[in-house]
Structure 1
Amino acid sequence: MSELYDQLTDRLRAAGDWLAPLGLRLLLAHEFFTAGMNKFRVGSEAPGWFVNQEFAFPFGMLSANLNWMMVTWTEIVAGLALALGLFTRFFAVTLLVVTTVAIAAVHWPADWDSLGQLWQGYSVSRVMEDGEFRGNFRIPFLFLAMLLPLAFMGGGKLSLDQLLLVFTQRSDLIHDRVQDALAFALAALLLALISVYLIPSWGLVLFVLGALLLLRAWMVRSAR
């Protein structure tokens, strides 16, 4: 019985390499491309609600109009790229940054006393308690969760990325994923990039963990 189960799950995993990333790509492509086109229709001048936002470093050093133009074209181009599965990891990481900065600037509560209170912001609408804004980061959090698999695993076999590997004679890069210190280091650093804007202490811990894993990977490679 267990052997039959293992055979079925192995086939599901093989099919998932083709189909699972495609669904994520198409849904995210629609959401970000539509958001970018809506901003494009507004024009090159940032609207008042956008101008009044305080963006995290280094975006806070740029003008509101430049930030508006950057996010507009990033969402449009990245949306198209995800639909095609072209440079999927690059654009997934780019959209992770865009989404995280948006959460920090717009959807994150200005202050909170506990994780339980912070979690009240996991809502679609603005949650008010004692006159305080408790956040509305539910939808962008779902976007983060959908982007992470694409950043880690790519666009899947139904993508232009896959064709590029074949046409550029780099099919040797198509292999089973290896779980090692370097892989976990990159994962920790990617998660740190998200966390540092929202809960800086968590981001710092993840950066340190990623650096230690990178050091371990270097030591293992040097010892060979």
Structure 2
Amino acid sequence: MSTLATGVLNAWEGLNARLRGAGEVLPRFVLRLVMGWEFWESGLEKLHGENWFADIQAKFPWPFNVIPADLSWSVATWFEIAGGLALWLGFGTRFFAFSLLFLTFVATAAVHWPDMWTMWSDLLKGYAITDAGHGNFKLPLLFVVMLLPLIFNGPGKLSVDYVIARLVGATTYPAATNDFYTWAIAAAVVGLPFLMLTPLSGAALLALAAVLALIGRYLRH
């Protein structure tokens, strides 16, 4: 390899290494700031606003359609406020990100999902900010896309979670493991919220998670 090619390759690898270094801090910090604000703002609006959950009680997925509307309103309000604050701080990030993901799926089912669709083309009409009679799940879908990296990758180095891990001597960034248990967990993380939106899809993902976990257990023995 020529000296020029070697220099270009070294420069490229150095650039990638530094981008990865910044990537351990900046992208997830920005995600936390944005998502923290969105849920914090939504929670404050509920805290100071009128409870309208009773008006759509029948649209909530089970078991939220049988839980008193006042209780559901309070749970949603305080999870959004506490979750928004936790995301800002990077504290309990995976727990709160998953809780808010679950909450987003419940809200999508009750408010943003189309009442009826028979084909994918019908469903795609709901990929919008404003409801034109076909639902408007574009914004909650974007929330899901931004919460998933926080669930799977954690809050990044600029977080309380990272500081706590360092203080207790835990491995802050353990080596990635790619086995059947990995994908069982991934299927469960996605499947549980999907139970609220499309129960058959959620159940299928949870069944897949169970099968993958059993295969992983079998291969370990």
- Tell me whether the two structures share a fold, i.e. TM-score over 0.5: yes
Q: Do residues 99 (structure 1) and 104 (structure 2) align?
A: yes
Gaps of 5+ in 2: 1-7
Does the 8 A contact of 2:188 with 2:205 survive in 1?
yes
CA drift at 1:201: 2.8
The equivalent residue for 2:18 is 11
Aligned length: 212
Q: Which amino acid aligns with 1:181?
A: F
The equivalent residue for 1:22 is 29
TM-score by length of 2: 0.90
The equivalent residue for 1:144 is 144
Q: Which amino acid aligns with 2:54?
A: V
Residue aligned with 1:52, SS = helix
TM-score by length of 1: 0.89
Q: Distance in 2 between matches of 1:91 and 1:113?
A: 34
CA drift at 1:200: 2.7
Q: Do residues 52 (structure 1) and 59 (structure 2) align?
A: no
The equivalent residue for 1:89 is 94
Q: Distance in 2 between matches of 1:153 and 1:112?
A: 34
The equivalent residue for 2:185 is 186
For each residue in 1:40-93, what CA deviation from the matched residue of structure 2 results, as whole angstroms up to 9, or x when unmatched? 1126xx23xx21212111212210011001100000000000000000000000
Q: Distance in 2 between matches of 1:80 and 1:191?
A: 23
Q: State percent identity of aligned pairs.
A: 39
Q: Which amino acid aligns with 2:107?
A: A
Q: Which amino acid aligns with 2:215?
A: R
After superposition, the Cα gap between the structure-2 partners of 1:6 and 1:115, relative to the gap in structure 1 and judged at 3 Å, is farther
Superposition CA RMSD, Å: 1.5
The equivalent residue for 1:164 is 164
Q: Which amino acid aligns with 1:92?
A: A
Q: Which amino acid aligns with 2:216?
A: A
The equivalent residue for 2:114 is 109
Gaps of 5+ in 1: 128-132
Q: Distance in 2 between matches of 1:2 and 1:187?
A: 35
